Amino acid sequence: MHNFENKTVIVTGGTKGVGFGIAEAFLSAGANVFICGRNAPASLPQGAGKEAIFIAADVRKEEQSQGLIDSAIEATGRLDILINNAGGSPPVAAADAPSKLTEAIIRLNLIAPMIFSQQAYHAMCKTANGGSIINIASVSGVRASPGTAAYGAAKAGLINVSRSFAQEWGIDNVRVNAIIAGLIKTEAAGEHYGGDAGIELIEGSLPMKRMATPADIANACLFLAADSSGYVSGAALEVYGAGEPPSFLKMAEEAYKLGQ
């Protein structure tokens, strides 16, 4: 069990999905948790008798991300952990992607967490123990990302940025790590993976026969943010259940069976 009593945590995109699960995990571990989004959620993450504090903010606007940090410090006197979770992309063919959409995707998935991390760094330097920044990246950043090329490029950049920031900020005891998340089953998974039937087929193809859950990503965040991981910085932790097997292996297996 991790103890984050009296620690202050910000989780971007914490109103739903993976971010909601991360917020619940830190609340259950005793932290004070602030979440943000453009719209207030119907319900707030809860844990250990505590509830997350929602502050409306668009992470693509640096004055609003700074405002979120200022509000957290005003309420608790400190900022210990930042989880850059907000992100995403609609599917779009690379040949047809409008330049404005490409720029918007990169701003949300790369530039926004870069700027938020810079702002958090300056706040964390003011505490004796520094702080921990965790960037939620994706397998799309380490393999081809057809249909979401800009998203994959942004996530690849986020992994590199995490390592670069870690080296620059290590002297101030501000640790920066990334999580390379695989396929995740959230409340919106059906929209992305073809409904229940599509999810069943995909999960059947994975080594562990299931997708990740928000709790899987949250547990990785708890590990990386814990004081006991004080020498873990610049890491890109793969949380994807052994990865996605190459599709040609399945096709070759099926072809072999047909040939028998």
Pairing of strands 50-51, 46-47: antiparallel
Q: How many whole angstroms separate alpha carbon 79 and alpha carbon 69?
A: 7
d(CA 237, CA 180): 6
**65 and 59 Cβ atoms separated by less than 8 Å:** yes
CA-CA distance, 80 to 221, in Å (whole number)?
13
Tokens of 121: 């760094």
Q: How far apart are CA 108 and CA 101, in angstroms?
A: 11
Point out the catalytic residue in the list 151, 193, 231, 240.
151
Q: Is 240 a catalytic residue?
A: no
Q: Which residues contact 182 (CB under 8 A, 6 or more apart)?
A: 138, 139, 211, 212, 238, 239, 240, 241, 243, 244
Tell me what percent of the chain is helix, strand and coil, each rounded to the nearest 5: 50, 15, 35
Tokens of 48: 């250990």
Q: 161-194 b/e with 16+ CB inside 10 Å = b?
A: bbbebbeebeeebbbbbbbbbbbbbbeebeebbe
State the catalytic residues: 151
